[in-house]
Chains A and B, each alone.
With several copies, the nearest count.
Chain A
Amino acid sequence: MRNILLLLKKQVYEDKKGLIIYASVVFGLILIPNLVMGFFGKLPSSQDDMGYLGLFGNLLFAGGFIMVSITYAQEMYSKVKQHAWLMLPVHAHEKLIAKVIYHAIIYPLVLLIFIFASSVIIEGLNAVLFSSSTPFLDMTDLAVWKMILNYLILQSVFLLGATYFKSANFVKTVLSVMVVSIVLSIILALIARVVYAPYAQVMFHGGISIDETTFIMNTNAMNLLETYEVIGKTIYWALLAPFCLVVSYFRIREVEAKDAV
């Protein structure tokens, strides 16, 4: 626990400059177009706060995935920095947990507070300068927390990519996800063809005569579909992240000096 806190402190100090730049750029990118639109009297109507929510979502997903991708490439696989990574006297699981806390928990919460604070400042300015009154980012909005939950799952995929690939891990992760999705959908389509072939035959070629059998079979098919949905959801919500974490842990434990690029 002590080591994890020490690692988090270290990470924050070492990332400080980059995070300040990141925050300034984001704030500038909200502020400047806002001022321009305010100047031309074209600020959005008061009910439309999708702007902040959308911005939060974009920064959460894109920013978070990129941060996860960069951190391992720069520390674990970097020729000059890997030495410090390997020699730091902490367990592999402590390194992983510290990074996961940093990217999966601290980052979303800090980002949420930051976007909220930015929205307060900017809408305050709008109210004073242009007498406009768009609402702030609504932190109690369920959509916000759904995004964060999905981010928690999906960032683990990028964590796996970042620890698995030695170089260009972001691009390779995206490509791998694409390839895996395509292969999975082909397999699912084949299964669907095989499994549902009899129902499909009955349904499409059985004419309009609805007899008892068809009903039963259709009910079975619906049950099957529901089963698939449950399986899919379980895999996504319960198994994907732990799987990615465990594989990442083994990569971190087994990384060697010759893996640096």
Chain B
Amino acid sequence: MITLNNLHFSYGKKPLFTDLKLDVPSGNIYGLLGMNGAGKTTLLKLIAGQLFRKSGEAQVLGFDPVKRHPAMLSDIFYLPEEFYLPNMSIATYLKLNVPFYPKFDQNAFDRYISEFALDTSQKISDFSYGQKKKFLLSFGLASNTSLLILDEPTNGLDIPSKTQFRRTVASALTEERTFIISTHQVRDMENLIDPIIILHDGVIIFNASLEDVSESIATTLELDEPQGADVIYSEKVPGGYSVVRKDPDGTFDSGVDLETLFNAVIASPNSFKGGVK
């Protein structure tokens, strides 16, 4: 689906990516995590053909993204953080934009729109930011594109909408579709994003499924400051310590807390299966 190799990219003279590698097979909801300025949005734009790499190889859906071939673009839906919607009704918007997406499914669109409780009689430019996001998401999901890139999709959504978002995206996943969700709100994404990709200092320092991770480690909440050789990472939180321990035998039967995992990976990436130096 997506293969990046030896990718170099820089804004001006300061290099952001030197020798970036990434391989994304289809059929998953990838979570792309990273600190501010790590280059998450830049990576998404390189994949979508909005930025051109300085050198290296890239293949997205069988195309070189810099060519921006219509066949590639019509198979990608990209929800950015900032967007603009014209001053028209939903029906007009669909009339003008659907012809560019051959796999668009009108029934699915109507279902999503009603799931998100959007008022079809309103002009889309009068929607609030959250409603616009839900509208674009409905359009993107209904377009049945093979690749969906969502940049901070839950920003601006209220609590019930976030729950609905998780449900809707989970139900829209098929074998042929791939989601890449870039986010800081990992707690909104728990039980949704599965293979986790962590980008740090221009390098992908972690790329693994949570199942693989939980085979070898466990995250626990402990009252006392943790001791022992099996402690990979610990941080003070209200009510005790959030601890990441080596757990190859499955002694601790706990899920993986994504925020703690993220902090632990940033602190010592090579302690994890899927992590790299």
Contacts and interface: CB of A to CB of B under 8 A. Distances in A.
Best-buried of A80, A81, A87, A253 by chain B (most CB within 10 Å): A87
5 tightest Cβ-Cβ pairs between the two chains A and B: A89-B74, A89-B73, A257-B50, A89-B70, A80-B84
A81 B101 contact: no
A86 interface: yes
18 contacts: A78-B84, A80-B82, A80-B84, A86-B48, A86-B49, A87-B50, A88-B73, A89-B70, A89-B73, A89-B101, A90-B73, A90-B100, A91-B69, A91-B70, A253-B68, A257-B50, A257-B51, A258-B11
A13 B50 contact: no
Contacts of A14: 86, 88
A10 B87 contact: no
Nearest to A75: B84
A10 B39 CA distance: 33
A34 to B, nearest CB: 33
Interface string B41-75: 00001001111100000000000000011111110
B275 interface: no
B73 A83 contact: no
A233 interface: no
Contacts of A13: 86, 88, 92, 96
Contact of A87 (B11, B78, B82): B78
A188 B101 CA distance: 54
B239 interface: no
Contact of B48 (A10, A87, A254): A87
A80 B68 contact: no
Interface string B123-161: 000000000000000000000000000000000000000
A229 interface: no
A84 interface: yes
Contact of B70 (A3, A10, A17, A257): A3
Nearest to B74: A89
A17 B70 CA distance: 29
A258 B51 contact: yes
A256 B100 contact: no
Interface string B179-197: 0000000000000000000
A257 B84 contact: no
Contacts of A192: none
Interface residues of B, number: 29
B70 A256 contact: no
A2 to B, nearest CB: 8
A50 B70 CA distance: 48
Contacts of A83: 50, 78, 80, 82-84
A6 B99 contact: yes
B99 to A, nearest CB: 5
A201 to B, nearest CB: 56
B76 interface: yes
Interface string A1-42: 011001001100110010000000000000000000000000
B68 A92 contact: yes
Given A13-B96, A86-B68, A89-B100, A257 B82 contact: no
A79 interface: yes
Nearest to B76: A87
Nearest to B44: A257
A19 B68 CA distance: 31
Contacts of A87: 48, 50, 73, 76, 78
B100 A88 contact: yes
A84 B72 CA distance: 15
Interface string B91-114: 010001101110000000000000
A79 B81 CA distance: 11
A6 B74 CA distance: 14
Given A86-B49, A89-B70, A81 B84 contact: yes
Interface in A158-184: none
A86 B52 CA distance: 12
A9 B50 contact: no
A2 B70 CA distance: 13
Interface string A87-106: 11111100000000000000
B17 to A, nearest CB: 14
Given A3-B70, A89-B70, A80 B83 contact: yes
Contacts of A90: 70, 73, 100
Nearest to A91: B70
A47 to B, nearest CB: 45
A84 B82 CA distance: 11
A6 B51 CA distance: 26
